[in-house]
Amino acid sequence: MSQATMSPPARQLRLLAVFDGRQWASICRDLDIASAGRTADEALDTLEAAVRDALAYERESGVSAGAPVSDEDIAGFLDTAHAQQPPAARLIFV
């Protein structure tokens, strides 16, 4: 297979969702893109769509899709979680 037809290796991105008492908030730690939803799955689904859109825009325009979130900021995000609902996570490959 030639270099021109080979696709780049898949990039692994981490998505995390927490329930903040009113809704599920989600964040892509690798790109600092966030979303929300009524359920953990909805929050992660809308976040995954936003991440894929941002990466498509990055490929088309050359503008960076985002930058990693610091450990301190992730700790603050996790502090918003209510103990009754454990965090939800998803890995995606793009």
What string of DSSP letters covers 4-65?
GGPPPPPPEEEEEEEE-SSSEEEEETTTTEEEEESSHHHHHHHHHHHHHHHHHHHHHH----
pLDDT tens column, 16-58: 999 999 999 999 999 999 999 999 999 999 999 999 999 999 9
In this prediction, residue 4 has a pLDDT band, given cuts at 50, 70 and 90, of: low
Contacts of 77 (CB under 8 A, 6+ apart): 16, 18, 25, 27, 69
Q: pTM to 2 decimals?
A: 0.85
CATH number for the segment(s) 11-93: 3.30.160
In this prediction, residue 3 has a pLDDT band, given cuts at 50, 70 and 90, of: low
pLDDT tens column, 81-90: 887 889 999 9
What's the confidence (pLDDT) of residue 84? 83
- Does residue 40 contact residue 50 with C-beta atoms inside 8 Å? no
Q: Please report, for the chain, the start and end positions of each structural domain, with discontinuous segments joined by +.
A: 11-93
